[in-house]
Amino acid sequence: MPWSITIGRFGGTAVKIHVTFLLFLAWIASSAWARGGWTAARDGTAFIVLLFLCVVLHEFGHILAARRYGIQATEVTLLPIGGVASLQRLPSDPRQELVVALAGPAVNLVIGFALVLVLGSVRPGELQQIENPHLSLLGRLAAANLFLAVFNLIPAFPMDGGRVLHALLAMRVGGPRATEIAAKVGQAFAIALGFLGLFGNPLLLFIAIFVYMAAAGEAQMSAAQQALKGLTAGEAMETRFTPIAIEATLGEAVDALIAAAQHEYPVVDAFRKPVGLLTRQDILTAVRAHGRDEPAAVAMRVGVDSVRPSAPVESVFERLQDPKAAALYVTDADGAIVGLLTRQALAEIVLIRSFRPDWRFDRRPRVDS
């Protein structure tokens, strides 16, 4: 995420703070100072810092659970609204999805109950008064953790409860239908939250908008998956594209860029085997740093996946959702490129199938060079 500062690294995952979070801390400190001087400012800030430490631990609950299933997380970012862990992908097995989703709130439950045990004397009534300055710092922290656990289990995306609901539904009715139902439940909760927000805490209104958008996003994703069902890579791929030869110069890549409205340029060897990919943006970035005669390959990205024309699009759709995955190569039995699977081409198909769900795409692989 842009505008974030890395403050540390834990087992391959970078912990970052977003600039808005620092502004949020400054705002907490100054408003506490205005009310109760330096002591209040110090206590208020300490509470928020400890609280967000618990939020980071919550995210690491998800991350460590996901790691058990071979899914890595590159970073955790702290925002004023909470933490965001960027997992490579979500587990497709609902049982694993359930474990990963529950691992976060479980961390807060453990912290909350551990603090209650340590303090010994916290009565249930006190746990409802996070705002009460007469409660001890740790007492408020215990209450906040228990609140976090419960709040995150609200069955609406992007809360963990939404994922829990999705996993439980997926075990019964399958993935796509589960997403559809979970998205609807999430939107219903968002509307209820928004209603509460109108008459009570305006903060709820903000959360409601977030929840609604997240649920809508999930529903859209599910519709896209549904539209792509049964399609093969060979039917969905772009076939009219200009490849760039491995020995081409940056000047030639720029010429290719101007000659066609293409966004992704596979870099191929003499046998048309793809060795890398240049996006329009890669070429533009390279122009700033290199001259015309520099090899175009200096700017190409490597490690782009290949699929066969017979591969079901459904199975590779998720790989294309990663913003860094610009496209996938479609290659024949000899490894030569016959097509490119791009987000743009898939978006066209989703659009066409939204008008005509039964539209058939019977396409023969053909390559123009």
The phi and psi torsions of 342 (rounded to 5 degrees) equal -120, 155
Query: Please, where are the H alpha helices in the chain?
Result: 19-68, 94-119, 137-152, 160-173, 175-199, 202-227, 233-236, 250-259, 280-289, 313-321, 343-355
CB-CB contact of 183 with 157 (8 Å)? yes
Rank residues 33 and 151 by Cβ distance to Zn ion and give the closer one. 151
Binding pattern to Zn ion, positions 159-198, x when CB under 5 A?
-x--------------------------------------
Q: Which of 311, 298, 317 is nearest to 339 (CA)?
A: 311
Rank residues 40 and 50 by Cβ distance to Zn ion and give the closer one. 50
We find the least distance from the C-beta atom of residue 367 to Zn ion, in angstroms, to be: 46
Rank residues 59 and 282 by Cβ distance to Zn ion and give the closer one. 59
We find the least distance from the C-beta atom of residue 85 to Zn ion, in angstroms, to be: 8
We find the least distance from the C-beta atom of residue 101 to Zn ion, in angstroms, to be: 7
> Of 91, 104, 155, 162, which one interacts with Zn ion (CB under 5 A)?
104
> Which residues on neighbouring strands pair with residue 276, listed in sequence order?
267
We find the least distance from the C-beta atom of residue 108 to Zn ion, in angstroms, to be: 9
Rank residues 97 and 160 by Cβ distance to Zn ion and give the closer one. 160
We find the least distance from the C-beta atom of residue 160 to Zn ion, in angstroms, to be: 4
Of all residues in this chain, which one has the CB nearest to Zn ion in the complex? 104
Q: Per rule CB under 5 A, is residue 276 in the interface with Zn ion?
A: no
Query: Binders of Zn ion: how many residues, by CB under 5 A?
Result: 2
Rank residues 148 and 231 by Cβ distance to Zn ion and give the closer one. 148
We find the least distance from the C-beta atom of residue 82 to Zn ion, in angstroms, to be: 8
Rank residues 156 and 256 by Cβ distance to Zn ion and give the closer one. 156
Structure tokens at 197: 């927000």
Rank residues 104 and 266 by Cβ distance to Zn ion and give the closer one. 104
Its sign, for the CA torsion 90, 355, 366, 277, is negative
Q: Is 277 helix (H, G, I), strand (E, B) or coil?
A: strand
* Geometric angle at alpha carbon 306, from 300 and 309, rounded to 5°: 135
Q: Which of 162, 138, 153, 148 is nearest to 56 (CA)?
A: 148
CB-CB contact of 242 with 231 (8 Å)? no
Prior bond of 105 cis (ω within 30°): no
We find the least distance from the C-beta atom of residue 131 to Zn ion, in angstroms, to be: 23
Binders of Zn ion in range 133-162 (CB under 5 A) = 160
We find the least distance from the C-beta atom of residue 152 to Zn ion, in angstroms, to be: 5
User: 153 CB contacts (<8 Å, ≥6 apart)?
Assistant: 105, 159, 160, 161, 164
Q: Compute CA 166 distance to the chain's CA centroid, rounded to the nearest angstrom.
A: 16
Stretch that binds Zn ion, among 100-108, 165-173, 187-195, 309-317 (CB under 5 A): 100-108
Rank residues 94 and 105 by Cβ distance to Zn ion and give the closer one. 105
Stretch that binds Zn ion, among 22-30, 36-44, 63-71, 97-105 (CB under 5 A): 97-105
Stretch that binds Zn ion, among 104-112, 235-243, 311-319, 355-363 (CB under 5 A): 104-112
- CA dihedral (85, 87, 90, 94) in degrees, to 10, reads -60
The phi and psi torsions of 299 (rounded to 5 degrees) equal -100, -5
Residues forming the site for Zn ion (CB under 5 A): 104, 160
